[in-house]
Amino acid sequence: MQENAIIPVEDQADESWKIQTLVIGGVLGMLVGLGGAYLLTKRAEQKGTHLSITPGKGVQLGVLLAGLMRSILSLGED
């Protein structure tokens, strides 16, 4: 049987930035998503219509999001 491993303090500090980055990224992503959904519904209300996203608009949004992800990935390259 394997005994409980003790993780050195240095390794714990190295892992904390990963967790912090994931939490901050998740919260920011949630807020941006909620903000976008709010804006879409508000605009539909102002026009007096129901929200409808066509397949073409969905593909366009997907391409934009892929570009955003690519830009985020390039932030770490110096």
- pLDDT at position 64, please? 96
- DSSP states of 25-51 as a string? HHHHHHHHHHHHHHHHHHHHHHHTS--
| Residue 67, pLDDT above cutoff 70 | yes
Q: Does a structural domain hold residue 2? A: no
| Residue range of the domain that includes 63 | 9-74
pLDDT digits (tens, 9 = 90+) for 25-42: 999 999 999 999 999 999
The neighbour count for residue 67, using CB atoms within 10 Å, is 10
pTM recorded for the entire structure: 0.66
- pLDDT at position 53, please? 86
How many domains does one find in the chain?
Answer: 1
Residue type at position 28: L
- pLDDT at position 76, please? 75
Q: Does a structural domain hold residue 3? A: no
Q: Does a structural domain hold residue 4? A: no
pLDDT digits (tens, 9 = 90+) for 6-19: 766 666 667 888 99
